[in-house]
Amino acid sequence: MARMTAAQAAVWVLEKEGVTQAFGVPGAAINPFYAALRQQGSIGHILARHVEGASHMAEGYTRAAAGNIGLCIGTSGPAGTDMITGLYSAQADSIPILCITGQAPRARLYKEDFQAVDIEAIAKPVTKWAVTVREPAQVPGTFQQAFHLMRSGRPGPVLIDLPVDVQTAEIEFDPDTYAPLPVYKPSATRAQAARAIAMLQQAQRPLIVAGGGIINADACALLVEFAELTGVPVIPTLMAWGAIPDDHPLMAGMCGLQTSHRYGNATLLASDFVLGIGNRWANRHTGSTEVYTKGRTFVHVDIEPTQIGRVFAPDFGIVSDAAAALRLFIAVARDLQAAGQLKDRTPWAADCFERKRTMLRKTGFDDVPMKPQRVYECMNRAFGPETCYVSTIGLSQIAGAQFLHVFQPRHWINCGQAGPLGWTVSAALGVRAADPKRRIVALSGDYDFQFMLEELAVGAQFKLPYLHMVVNNSYLGLIRQAQRGFNMDYCVELAFENINMAESATPERGYGVDHVKVVEGLGCKAIRVHAPDELLPAIAQAEAWMKEYQVPVVVEVILERVTNIAMGPEIDRIVEFD
């Protein structure tokens, strides 16, 4: 046993649990923890420019690789409230991050002390666990329980709030004998797997809907093995894009109201059986359940018991970790194959592949200013299958999902449910911190880009290079398109005559913010593009700058002001725009 401060014990637990990187902003109420962090020296720290940015960096770090848990740190009061958006985003997408906040001394709680807020109560609805530690001796066990909860069952975030006097109090703790708690993950039974495969065998036109739980379980290879064994096409959700490569013959496209493919929706509507694994039937994927479920039988596999039947009642539900379920599905299917009883899906798979080959949206526009569809066509030519995309929300993300291609797990880093503007820059920096070698391409509209633009300075300071594609139409494009239903175009324009840009700088002078100057002012590099033939050379230049300067590089593409992107109220009523 050793005597140390509770803050020092907390850092020891973080180290023993495998944490090597933190993102945060110091402050008076968390300085004792920072002192322990500095003294221990085993955990790197990246200084964010905004505490919300630190939480999204932690998200990007977690999402980049299996086993990662991002750590974000802030002081008391507004630091914690700033991180609530990151906690909500992580909770919504089942992403484990640990948020540590400082707090006023215990004697000053609930007395309106400076920067004292009940962050435990505020954070509870958007975390698996939020706790203010009131006894110093409970600090090691609280951190141990936090990691147990983040990793067990449906993953998610935890917030630990540390009063400053709790941090500085001395306790007894033995780092040498510390061990993480066992992780709990439910597993399907052989009987459940046999029942699910029997239902699959009865179907004529079956599909697998692969959700983000497959990514979290590191079960993508099992998914592909199961699909190839049974011959059943796969529709990944947005959170599972890349779980099966886009060019795999059994990858049948994505389904949904916005981030979908024409062929994905058509194939779902043509199916008669759906095996959902690790998905939550999100409304952007399903539209109304009446249209989505009509004429189809459903089996739903999810790690969270209360997720079964939450959106609609499946015909059969299984509570299981995705990897455990897939191993059993493969075993049952192999037994059927050995007995010559596994159903041949070749004709149905061929039908799905033909839809994928023919039901494509147009991209070859030569307009100047550019149409976004042409931008994504050029990106597909420029970026290979090793590329990792990072994006959050807006027409840029929706069009990106419709036109880009993803070939590997964890190479579509996307905030699926919460979709906070400003997420992309911070998350991309977190991905870079997790993987120094990955080819990272972030994608933003101009409004998402402007929300937390200051975090680019973090990339410059800590040498975190990545390529950021900004498609600029000087609009809140998704909201503008939605306002068509109200016959208005109200408070969604970002355009203004920028008096600091030369009058000859057309059309960007009328687009408002000079992103190139702002990016350069933050210590990064930027290049502006107007025409299709300029885009590939600009990307080549950007990648050369990244290598030379080791900073984020922005390629801004000036778009035509108004382009409508395919979407609709139901998966059978998508409005296509040419």
229 catalytic per annotation:
no
3-state secondary structure string across 268-299? HHHCCEEEEECCCCCHHHHCCHHHHHCCCEEE
Spell out the residues 6+ positions from residue 125 whose beta carbon is closer than 8 angstroms to its own.
none
Q: Are 70 and 57 in contact (CB under 8 A)?
A: yes
For the chain, helix (H) and strand (E) counts, in that order, are 24, 19
Spell out the residues 6+ positions from residue 374 whose beta carbon is closer than 8 angstroms to its own.
363, 364, 365, 366, 367, 532
Q: How far is CA 523 from CA 14, 50, 453, 454, in A?
A: 32, 17, 12, 10
Q: How far is CA 314 from CA 209, 274, 309, 526, in A?
A: 13, 10, 6, 50
98 catalytic per annotation:
no
d(CA 475, CA 367): 19
Spell out the residues 6+ positions from residue 9 whose beta carbon is closer than 8 angstroms to its own.
139, 140, 171, 173, 175
478 catalytic per annotation:
no
Set 11, 458, 471, 476: catalytic member:
476
25 catalytic per annotation:
yes
Lookup: tokens for 544: 């050369």
Set 13, 37, 46, 51: catalytic member:
51
Q: Which of 407, 69, 78 is nearest to 244 (CA)?
A: 407
Q: Are 565 and 399 in contact (CB under 8 A)?
A: yes
Is the sign of the CA dihedral 133, 138, 144, 145 positive or negative? negative
Q: How far is CA 287 from CA 145, 293, 362, 394, in A?
A: 38, 10, 24, 18
The four Cα atoms 212, 218, 221, 227 give a dihedral, to 10 degrees, of: -30
- State the first-to-last Cα distance of the chain, in angstroms, to the nearest integer: 70
Is the sign of the CA dihedral 540, 544, 546, 552 positive or negative? negative
294: exposed, middle or buried (C-beta count within 10 Å: 0-12, 13-18, 19+)? exposed
421 catalytic per annotation:
yes
d(CA 382, CA 536): 7
Q: In what order do the strands lie in the sheet with 297-302?
A: 234-236, 206-210, 273-277, 297-302, 316-319
**What are the two backbone dihedrals, phi and then psi, of residue 500, each rounded to the nearest 5 degrees?**
-90, 0
Which ranges in 107-206 belong to alpha helices (H)? 119-123, 139-151, 164-168, 190-202
**What are the two backbone dihedrals, phi and then psi, of residue 253, each rounded to the nearest 5 degrees?**
100, 165
Q: What is the DSSP string of 52-121?
A: HHHHHHHHHHHHHSTT--EEEEE-STHHHHHTHHHHHHHHHTT--EEEEEEE--GGGTTTT-TT---HHH
Set 479, 494, 518, 536: catalytic member:
479
Lookup: tokens for 192: 């459940």
Set 336, 421, 470, 553: catalytic member:
421
Q: Which positions are annotated as active-site residues?
A: 25, 51, 421, 476, 479
